[in-house]
A and B are shown apart, each in its own frame.
Chain A
Amino acid sequence: MSDFSIALPAAPGFARNIMTVARRELRDALRARWFALYTLAFLALGLGVSFLSAAATGGTGLEGFGRTTAGLINLVLLVVPAMALTAGAGAIASDRERGMLAYVLSYPIARWELLAGKYLGLAVALLASICAGFGLCAGILAWKGGGADPARVALLTALTYALALSMLAVGMAISARARKSGVAVGIAVFIWLLLVFITDLGLMAATLAFHPPIRLLFFAALANPLQVFKMWSLSSADASLDVLGPAGLYATDTFGAAVVWVFAASMALWILLPLAAALLLFCRRTAV
């Protein structure tokens, strides 16, 4: 009995599918209100933080990008994770909710290709937003004579982007299984709160209550990508982690200059593990 094999044009390769989805995701993000609002908020707050930080240190206003780094780090810790987490959380769940996910997957595209395309598209959109925010901020400071150091701006931008990539991956892992985009975004906001506030407060409370070894505190901080970003940015700006207290001293004493590699490895894991989780959850052969 024949199995009706017929010659068919080859299905598109993975690179083509990923690029197709990424282009569409990027175009959607650039047209979306959330993207414009986050970028504007990031820019406005960045300029505000820069001005206030410089003024507080005795400057006459808009001057010195280096002085404002600490203020910008705190701004990044609030805005960028929220932006990346919510972008990732809506990526798949919203398509699933409106029935589009099943339709797209009826085309010759593998699940992992769709996920990778969405991640890539949103990653480029986030890069555009972060670059726009930091670029305009640094440009205005330079124009006003603040002398923004391009290398410092580039480094802070790169570290911010690494944080955004990790949070985007966490958001996509949430989205991979959520049936409703509202639920996915809700979980993303909860995780944002957990990382921004509760983990910090929890560490402080645990330190006061249990007096854990300093080493444990340092590694507990590494378990939070926001803390990794903060330590990494401060160490890059100040070349000293003393400002972080005993945990910073421990890191400097134990790892010396190599502490940067500890941060890099931790951040890489915070990008790769959630991305692997997203792939695993989304590609498991379950109903769409």
Chain B
Amino acid sequence: MSTLPFASYSSPDLEKQFVVDPSGPQYQTTDGVTTGPSPHVLNAGQVDKDKPAPPKQMDNGEFTALGCLRAQLTGLQDDINKFLTDRMEHAKRKKAKLDQDKDRDNRINKEIKDLLDGGDDDNNGDDSSQ
């Protein structure tokens, strides 16, 4: 039976697993990097009053089982947030490229159409004899 949180992602073009490494520092803190105020806000002097409490500790200084779980969830949440943010950026760039390609195709098609349609007139702007 699994003792660590685990996540799996799937979309039409990609599958990905998220696993927790309990020895990794990002899975031993409740202070996530993708949650809470942005560095921009903190650098402007804002105090983070909603900062999560650190994992609860037992008398011997070790984290409680639920304290460990909360820290592991924080790290897993960061992993998922970063991954999905990258995917969003990728989708945005892909859409921008598609829009750009579409604009270019429309422009080329219009130029071809203008050339074909205007071919009979041979209107070069100097023709004022009409």
- Do A and B form a real pair? no
